[in-house]
Amino acid sequence: MSQAPSRTVVVLAAGEGKRMKSATPKMLQPLLGRTLLGHVLATSAAIKTDRTVVVVGHKADEITAFLAEVAPEATPVLQAQQNGTGHAVRIALESTPDLTGTVVVLSGDVPLLRPETLEMLLATHERAGAAATVLSAEVEVPGGLGRIVRGADGGLERIVEAKDASDEERRIREINSGIYAFDAVLLREALGKLSTDNAQGEEYLTDVFGILAAQGHRVAIEVAESWVETLGCNDRAELAQLRVLMRDRVNGAWMRSGVLLLDPATTWIDVTATLEPDAVVDQNSQILGSSSVATGAVVGPDTTLIDTTVAAGATVLRTHAIGASVGPSASVGPFSFLRPGTRLAAKSKIGGFVEAKNAELGEGAKVPHLTYVGDATIGAKANIGAGTIFANYDGVRKSHTTVGEAAFVGSDSVLVAPVEIGPGAYVAAGSAVTKDVPAGSLGVTRAQQRNIEGWTVRKRPGTVSAAAAEAADITSDQE
């Protein structure tokens, strides 16, 4: 058996992307959990390749730093001046002098390309023994894209840029996706013959096809099943269009795998998030970053999960959660905010209008209403009354509060950290607790209540309250 030819991927990512009008380079614009370039690198990583070269230029430092973090196997190559796509590939090849085999060229701003389609392009290229193969697509509005010019035999004659095309050529609706496979040796030769004698004064990579075809080399075309995969991105309106297409693709895949999305049009799931069959996501919800939703869990409506795990059977209703973990059959919301380090054990509860940060709730523990829980450990079956504040910050330091198993904290209490409420202890409602409450004790810090009889009628005569007081007095006299 002969060894498979080597495969090198060259990703073009040096362009400026002026029309984005953003301080962030186009290649690093976000799209459902990855940057544009990140999607292209993920597609490239999903096929068998021997090396990846990324041509960087505009904001090269930022892109190189991104590569070091996200795709350390990729080698950045600097194209100091962006003199065209042909020039970019020429520079990439100059960094790998003895290259043979297949060179795959991808655009850093074409993020919807699937690995399956790239494999089809490569299969066509290798089966045909072609010098160069282009991925084309039929589109309704070809606009500024390069056109595929076919000869009398239906084969590829050349690729012409819209700006250099005749009126007749501009009517062609088969476009160049900017995704190609080349024979490395023939590509290098052809790149040496490029000129800048065109409308944009650039070295066009597309001219390689005409050069190779004229020399009698075989050039091939793979027509993409869907034009969607070849869509590039030049401005924010196009980015929004890509986001919708990517959302529909991601949501379609999850629904086919058994996830119930009640309103897929308003459900946004990053490509990095995961869901199990029979997970339910209600409308207007976002499952972002490394979030996961297990079977039988219900998330939403109106919920955002960022890097948050939701275990089986849990409910998260109208909630914003980041860096949290929600245990099996636990419940959260409505209208709550889970911040990093919130860990909810099985069957625990965070109710409405609760903010939690770096807080651990034991099994069955409950924080049902209007509470701030910062830097705390709450034991199993403990109950935190409405309006309790875990005062974790003294203006200088953050401190920890521990509430023991099955302890009961009365409503409107302040637990001033560091402090410990022992197992089975009670805190009387309205207490400001600054000292530990031992196990099984009642902690009370408020003043004794005294009632001043007849006060309303004497001090607020003529008010509705005084009238009510007098009426109550008559009633009680009659009893």
Q: Are strands 34-35 and 30-31 parallel, antiparallel or unpaired?
A: antiparallel
Give the nearest residue (CB) to ligand UD1: 146
Candidate residues 85, 251, 358, 402; the one interacting with ligand UD1 per rule CB under 6 A: 85
Burial of 295 (0-12, 13-18, 19+ CB in 10 A): middle
Question: Whose CA is closest to 123, among 215, 229, 4?
Answer: 4
- 161 is an interface residue for ligand UD1 by CB under 6 A: yes
Whether residue 430 is annotated as binding a ligand: the answer is no
* Dihedral of alpha carbons 88, 90, 94, 97, sign: positive
Q: Catalytic one among 58, 125, 217, 369?
A: 369
33 vs 232, beta carbon nearer Ca ion: 232
Taking residues 181 to 220 in sequence order and writing x for each that binds ligand UD1 by CB under 6 A, - otherwise, the string is: -----------------------xxx--------------
Candidate residues 7, 9, 10, 15; the one interacting with ligand UD1 per rule CB under 6 A: 15
Distance (Å, rounded) from C-alpha 225 to C-alpha 379? 57
Distance (Å, rounded) from C-alpha 56 to C-alpha 64? 7
- 178 is an interface residue for ligand UD1 by CB under 6 A: yes
Q: Which of Ca ion, ligand UD1, none is residue 15 near (CB under 5 to 8 Å by kind)?
A: ligand UD1
Q: Which of ligand UD1, Ca ion, none is residue 267 near (CB under 5 to 8 Å by kind)?
A: none
Place of tokens 């023939």: 186
Candidate residues 109, 222, 229, 375; the one interacting with ligand UD1 per rule CB under 6 A: 109
Torsion of CA 234, 116, 250, 111, to 10 degrees: -20
Q: Are strands 408-409 and 426-427 parallel, antiparallel or unpaired?
A: parallel
Question: For the chain, what is the total number of helices (H) and then of strands (E)?
Answer: 10, 39
- 108 is an interface residue for Ca ion by CB under 5 A: no
Question: Whose CA is closest to 240, among 411, 13, 20, 461?
Answer: 20
- 86 is an interface residue for Ca ion by CB under 5 A: no
Contacts of 293 (CB under 8 A, 6+ apart): 259, 273, 274, 275, 276, 279, 281, 287, 299, 305, 310
Whether residue 386 is annotated as binding a ligand: the answer is yes
Candidate residues 13, 317, 345, 378; the one interacting with ligand UD1 per rule CB under 6 A: 13
For the question of residue 125 being annotated catalytic, the response is: no
By rule CB under 5 A, what count of residues binds Ca ion? 1
Instruction: Dump the DSSP string for 111-129.
Output: TT--HHHHHHHHHHHHHHT
Burial of 477 (0-12, 13-18, 19+ CB in 10 A): exposed
165 vs 406, beta carbon nearer ligand UD1: 165
The stretch among 105-113, 317-325, 404-412, 450-458 that binds ligand UD1 (CB under 6 A) is 105-113
| Backbone dihedral angles phi then psi of residue 206, each to the nearest 5 degrees | -60, -30
> Residues interacting with ligand UD1, by CB under 6 A?
12-15, 55, 57, 79, 82-85, 87-88, 107-109, 145-146, 159, 161, 175-178, 204-206, 232
The binding site for UDP-N-acetyl-alpha-D-glucosamine comprises 12-15, 26, 79, 84-85, 107-109, 146, 161, 176, 234, 339, 357, 372, 383
Residues marked active site are found at: 369
The binding site for acetyl-CoA comprises 386, 392-393, 411, 429, 446
The binding site comprises 12-15, 26, 79, 84-85, 107-109, 146, 161, 176, 234, 339, 357, 372, 383, 386, 392-393, 411, 429, 446
